[in-house]
Amino acid sequence: MLRAAAERGEPYDLAILDMRLPGMDGLELARTIRSDPALAQVRLVMLNSLACQDRADLAQAGIVACLTKPVRESGLLACLEEIMGHPADTAPTGRQSAQGEGVPSRGCIPLAEDNIVNQKVALRLLEKMGYRADAVANGLEAVETLSRITYAAVLMDC
């Protein structure tokens, strides 16, 4: 579908991929899409049933956002607003939307936390306070994220 639309001169702006697909996983599909020059401008969002952990693999595959299933409507809308508000070559990478429904967004902050339980608790608390958070597993991923996206604050454990 992506290739046919590009050939018609009506390329897709965005494709939402699921990590679990029959025959190939979402990362393999993303790499296949990225390898086609006609599809290079398509922004890719990954859906996963678990929090997206390996941000480096996602970024290398061209994924600009990652949403954890089940995806809430408000989280999807916030993610799409963020992604589509940027040109394809400057879109944020590895975003995991944690926006709560009915809570106005106060902005997005990176959260560097290697403990999954602590990460989930912190993301939930931030969501309840009206923030969206980009969860990364370590300081290196936080630095990489900060090199691409400007944030007002950073939360990191010691």
Question: Is residue 11 a contact partner of residue 42, using CB atoms and an 8 Å limit?
Answer: yes
Query: Strand ranges (DSSP E) for 26-84?
Result: 43-48, 63-68
Check residue 136 and give its pLDDT: 80
Q: Which domain holds residue 90?
A: 2-156
Question: Is residue 68 a contact partner of residue 50, using CB atoms and an 8 Å limit?
Answer: yes
Classify 111 in phi/psi space as left (phi over 0), alpha (psi -120 to 50) or beta: beta
What residues are paired with 136 via a beta bridge?
Answer: 112
CATH number, domain of 61, equals 3.40.50.2300
> What's the whole-number mean pLDDT along residues 22-35?
91
pTM of the model: 0.55
For the chain, give the percent of residues with pLDDT over 90: 21
Residue 17 DSSP symbol: E
Hey, what are 24's tokens?
Answer: 């190939």
Number of structural domains found in the chain: 1
Determine if the peptide bond prior to 70 is cis (ω within 30°): yes
Task: Determine the Cα–Cα distance for residues 101 and 27; give it in Å rounded to an integer.
Answer: 28
pLDDT at 126 over 90: no
Task: Determine the Cα–Cα distance for residues 71 and 49; give it in Å rounded to an integer.
Answer: 9
pLDDT at 132 over 80: no
For 85-106, the pLDDT digits (tens) are 754 444 444 444 333 333 344 5
For 137-152, the pLDDT digits (tens) are 888 888 877 877 777 6
